[in-house]
Structure 1
Amino acid sequence: MLHSGEFENPFADPRRDVSKFEGRRWDHASYDSFRGKGELLPGLHTIAHNQLDIDVYYEPAGSDTTVAIFHAALSRPDAPLPMFTGARVTQDGPVNRIYVSDPGLYSDPSLTLAWYAGASELPLQKILPGIIHKLVDAAGGSRLMFFGASGGGFAAMYYSRLFPESLAVAINPQTILREFPSYTLRQYTQAAFPGIPQADVLDRAICSDLRRPYAESFPNHVLYVQNTQDDHMEKHLAPFWEAVRGNDRLHVKLGDWGDGHVPPPADEIREIIASITAQPGPWGKALDAAGYKSEVSMTA
């Protein structure tokens, strides 16, 4: 076992604390080192890349289904990292879990949201798929789900599309980063891409608008869960739906869970996921069997 001290980062984020993972912590000197690793043991795997650590927690269960889980924005700037959430909503039934903490947050200790889009020294949207591939291969099984809410929902939808026949379950996701409050977006782009104009970051450095890739091809499945009292309904769901109108791989579940950017209760999210994973076969058939028919309108 290697420990993170062997790859000491002089710019380490003070929020980062991996002490609770002692005894189940595995560090990798580089992306290539991780990809070339033989057996992957359960626990925290940290992949060093320049000065930003990519932290993933691998929890195999011998299941045919693997769930990659992306967290939403931190609830406060000093929240401890790495951040791994989603255990409760995926607890029904044995599934392999891959928890991913957003390494873009290490760009600046004040950041709370980075959309898993990376930084100037970390092309995360290009290298994270290879990390997930490695973990999925290690876990085995034939079905892969990506899960996330809000900013994590953006990530779930982005990365799922790179894995044909996978499923993204996205709760109140952003789909167009320009439609997010300007302060938070500016804080991210300035910290993660210093000296680069925000327009260049959004247009060239990262994929910031999911309409473009999904309009080009839709090789995966998406269950898009949206609160009708959230402004994301108009700013994110409506334009995305227009871009992919008529695609039977998009399934939309609308609900009224309160005023504003409010997700369904955790137990309801858990039931949604359990109802799908309990169904056998490919995700398209599983979604139909669970009652999530392909949407041809945005009527609740």
Structure 2
Amino acid sequence: MTNKNFAQWKQLHYLWDSLEHFRKTWDRIPGIHTIQFASGQKNLDIYVNENIEDASHRAIPIFFSGAISNRTTQLGPFFSGLGMTKKLGLPLIAIADPTLDDDHSLKLGWYLGNATDNFSKNLSETLDVLHQILGKELILVGGSGGGFAALNAGLNTKASTTTLVWNPQTDIFEYSPRFVKDYLRSQYNFSRDTLRRDDWKKYCRARTDVATRTSVVTDSTLLRPRRLVYLQNAGDSHRTDHLLPLWTATTTQELAEGRNMLGASHGVYVAEFAAGHAPPPANLIASVLHELMDTDLEVNVIESLKEFS
């Protein structure tokens, strides 16, 4: 673990030799927890804040990170959501993407791992264990690449979940080719010649998708969580490239500006939250998250988004 800097987070660090060890022994202790899996499989680092035992909320936010900037000067693990939840006084579990651990040039891995590390299964089983131990609904939270991870995790876990995402990718092959090719080179050892092929997307997808899910464009993705809030900047190309294919796979309704509801508890909001692919204002995301901590709340009564309904 010399390629990581745990000290940067100024928290106690705990090492668990298996997920079963963590399940049987972890007593909601805050800090950084590294869970080991079988030989050759990636460890999973999770950050648990000091509010984890707050009994006033019946849900726990689980944050996934997007792309990491200035990667050459930073070591993982990388966690998101700490500042927001601290300001709100909310409990938090943040999960780092181990796909980034062994390649310091890789900025985005979508929590996909590679063909041999069994990571998707290990992540979903960890979420199941967290749900079992805490006895609370999990709110899967993320934007952009972290949004893809949250949607994907919602498809895999058996736990009761709510999903809160903004401007997510829904098919990694439809994202910026630079980021996609960096991931394919790093985790699947595709050669530069292969990645220059005119049909590189089709060729590579046929090989990656045997091992992992690189697209969440299915008819169940938006409806699988118990509740969903999906925020999409109207002027972001992700509206056409990522949201629209997912929306049309789910419903025959037209995707409109403002609030698009799939029943009472699943809402997709298209508005000028921010310019381009920038995240919506942090205070908006924080307000929505805070309201979602009430597990009985339906998204069509979220106060923070009434102006977009």
TM-score when scaled to structure 1? 0.82
Counterparts of 2:120 and 2:160, CA distance in 1? 19
Pick the aligned partner of 2:231 from 225, 228, 238.
225
Determine if the alignment matches structure 1 residue 45 to structure 2 residue 33. Answer: yes
Pick the aligned partner of 2:140 from 123, 135, 146.
146
Determine if the alignment matches structure 1 residue 118 to structure 2 residue 130. Answer: no
Determine if the alignment matches structure 1 residue 19 to structure 2 residue 14. Answer: no
Q: 1:224 to 1:202 in 2, by over 3 A?
A: farther
Q: 1:265 to 1:201 in 2, by over 3 A?
A: farther
Instruction: Identify the residue that residue 260 of structure 1 maps to in structure 2.
Output: 276
Q: 1:170 to 1:21 in 2, by over 3 A?
A: closer
TM-score when scaled to structure 2? 0.79
Instruction: Identify the residue that residue 33 of structure 1 maps to in structure 2.
Output: 21
Query: What SS does the aligned partner of 1:85 have?
Result: coil
Q: Which moved more, 1:211-220 or 1:233-242?
A: 211-220
Structure 1: give runs of 5+ residues left out of the alignment: 1-8, 294-298
Structure 2: give runs of 5+ residues left out of the alignment: 192-202, 254-261
| Structure 1 stretches of at least 4 aligned residues deviating more than 6 Å after TM superposition | none
Determine if the alignment matches structure 1 residue 198 to structure 2 residue 213. Answer: no
Q: Letter of the aligned partner of 2:300 in structure 1? A: D
Instruction: Identify the residue that residue 45 of structure 2 maps to in structure 1.
Output: 55
Counterparts of 2:103 and 2:231, CA distance in 1? 31
Q: Letter of the aligned partner of 1:209 in structure 2? A: S
Q: 1:30 to 1:200 in 2, by over 3 A?
A: farther
Q: 1:27 to 1:179 in 2, by over 3 A?
A: same
Instruction: Identify the residue that residue 167 of structure 1 maps to in structure 2.
Output: 162
Counterparts of 1:92 and 1:287, CA distance in 2? 23
In the TM superposition, 1:39-118 aligns within 5 A as 39-49=27-37, 50=40, 52-59=42-49, 60-63=52-55, 64-78=58-72, 79-91=74-86, 94-118=89-113
CA displacement, residues 156-175 of structure 1 (integer Å, 9 cap, x when unaligned): 11112334541110011001
Q: Give RMSD over aligned pairs.
A: 2.8
Determine if the alignment matches structure 1 residue 274 to structure 2 residue 290. Answer: yes
Determine if the alignment matches structure 1 residue 290 to structure 2 residue 284. Answer: no
Q: Letter of the aligned partner of 1:41 in structure 2? A: I
CA displacement, residues 37-64 of structure 1 (integer Å, 9 cap, x when unaligned): 3534211111234363311012313232
Counterparts of 1:38 and 1:150, CA distance in 2? 31
CA displacement, residues 126-147 of structure 1 (integer Å, 9 cap, x when unaligned): 111221222333333x332110
Query: What SS does the aligned partner of 2:108 have?
Result: coil
Q: Letter of the aligned partner of 1:180 in structure 2? A: Y
CA displacement, residues 176-204 of structure 1 (integer Å, 9 cap, x when unaligned): 11111112111112211225962234422
CA displacement, residues 85-130 of structure 1 (integer Å, 9 cap, x when unaligned): 1123334655431100100011411000000111234222111122
Instruction: Please tell me whether the aligned partners of residues 225 and 253 of structure 1 are also in contact (alpha carbons under 8 angstroms).
Output: yes
Q: 1:267 to 1:33 in 2, by over 3 A?
A: same
Query: What SS does the aligned partner of 1:211 have?
Result: coil
Displacement of 1:265: 1.5
Counterparts of 1:216 and 1:258, CA distance in 2? 22
